[in-house]
Amino acid sequence: MKLLYDSLITVTNALLPVAGVFNKKLHQGCKGRARTWDILNQSIKKTIPKIWVHAASLGEYEQIVPVLEKLNRENYQIVLTFFSPSGYENKKNTQLADTVCYLPMDTIANVSKFMDIVAPSLVIMVKYEFWPNYLRALHKRDIKTVLVSGVFRENMTFNKWYGSWMTKYLKAIDHFFLQNEDSFKKLSHLGFNNASVSGDTRFDRASQLIERDNRLDFLDQFVDHKKCLVIGSSWPEDILVLQKWLRENYESGDCKVIIAPHEIEPIKIEALIQQLDDEPILWSSLKRNQKTLTLKSVAHLQQSNILIIDTIGLLTKAYSYATIAYVGGAMGTSGLHNILEAATYGVPVIIGKNYEKFPEAGKLEDLGGLFSVSSPNEFMEIMDQLLTDDYLCDKTGMICGHWINSNTGATREVLNYLKQIDEKLVIS
């Protein structure tokens, strides 16, 4: 099976540029990967030990941020790699790493070249992206490797007849920091017990958000002390279910609405506007038309009912204005987005129906801080309850805030382990 894998990954690597002609995201990834070797050759310092951190995408990056913030940049060079364009394109200029690039595809030749150039002293991987040739190289070179916020599920490749051969490569990982007990049991069943249930570092990341200054002048003026629904990382499937309530709310004007869609290309924003009866304000138009808020623009903001944030990086601040948060992705098949970023502000969270792969959502629902809806009528019913019953809204929000606070600490466990390897790895 290993020979077949190597053949398939080599063919895939060769065909990706061709496939990129028909797919914007693939094209973006291929274009970025083409620059990887130049980035590495120009930025890697041979005389300084390297810490290689790999995050598959943007979500995994957010998980590792609390650890990245504590890594010693004076004694070590941090090399951060991404597999997905959503991670690299958004974080290629992050100040938390010295070198940021795409991870070359997992061919034997690419792996050997990458390892020779980077020559890491320590490797930190996030969640569950496992590439057999990279793991094999790490094990052969005896490089200290840890997995942070790891997740193991029954339906993962290791448990399939066609993927069980990959299990042995997990021996490259010296310690698995896992999110939950179920992952610990699944990993133990695979034959590995060098693990601990430390929790999810996303809780630490989320808890940091509430401590910073989240105020934005244009949101102050738009919300204007009214109740506010923040719709985060929405997809068209989400808006379809929310449409009925949005229409009624437009007529009543009872609640302000902030929408931060997952896809912000102009064609996607135009499609979103077509789904709305209201004429929304776009953040980009505010930014383009004035550097400061004039009396006229303030009046326009206060009179408007829907504001679309068509940019990256403002959603977490927008959640601080929420009375209620709807987190997108679970109404369709794209995957539920981060509910922790909303919950940390102590507001009720509503999501779609497809969240089986997101145990944190199930846990918060069991506690009473989250509601799952599958139809327009269900959404309207929940919104009516939360907007008319302040006690219920406050109680539900308090559950969310307490849930975040009671699950922090995963970062501390990871950092304590790294200090045991070498005190110089971590800054105080």
Whether residue 256 is found in the same domain as residue 333 = yes
Within the chain, which residues score under 70 in pLDDT?
19-21, 288-298, 428
Active-site residue numbers? 60
Whether residue 151 is found in the same domain as residue 255 = no
Note the pLDDT of residue 27.
76
Note the pLDDT of residue 294.
58
Q: DSSP 3-state assignment of 405?
A: helix
- Angle at alpha carbon of residue 66, lines to 371 and 37, rounded to 5°: 110
Note whether 271 and 365 are within 8 A (CB).
no
Kind and range of the H or E run holding 6: helix 2-20
Is the four-CA dihedral 236, 240, 241, 246 of positive or negative sign?
Answer: positive
211, 202, 198, 224: which is closest to 321 by C-alpha? Answer: 224
Whether residue 178 is found in the same domain as residue 248 = no
Whether residue 139 is found in the same domain as residue 248 = no
- Residue 48 located in a structural domain: yes
**Rounded Cα–Cα distance for residues 283 and 307 (Å):** 7
Note the pLDDT of residue 290.
54
Note the pLDDT of residue 28.
82
What is the CATH number for 40? 3.40.50.11720
Domain ranges, residue 352: 214-407
Whether residue 180 is found in the same domain as residue 34 = yes
Whether residue 58 is found in the same domain as residue 194 = yes
Whether residue 367 is found in the same domain as residue 222 = yes
- Residue 55 located in a structural domain: yes
- Residue 7 located in a structural domain: yes
Whether residue 134 is found in the same domain as residue 279 = no
- Residue 208 located in a structural domain: no
- Residue 327 located in a structural domain: yes
Q: How many domains does the chain have?
A: 2
- Residue 209 located in a structural domain: no
Whether residue 151 is found in the same domain as residue 261 = no
Whether residue 99 is found in the same domain as residue 234 = no
Query: Which runs of E-coded beta strand occur in 151-193?
Result: 175-178
Whether residue 277 is found in the same domain as residue 328 = yes
**Rounded Cα–Cα distance for residues 8 and 6 (Å):** 5
- Residue 427 located in a structural domain: no
Whether residue 353 is found in the same domain as residue 243 = yes
- Residue 323 located in a structural domain: yes
What is the CATH number for 259? 3.40.50.2000
DSSP secondary structure letter of residue 26? H
What is the reported pTM?
A: 0.87
- Residue 409 tokens read as 């600490």
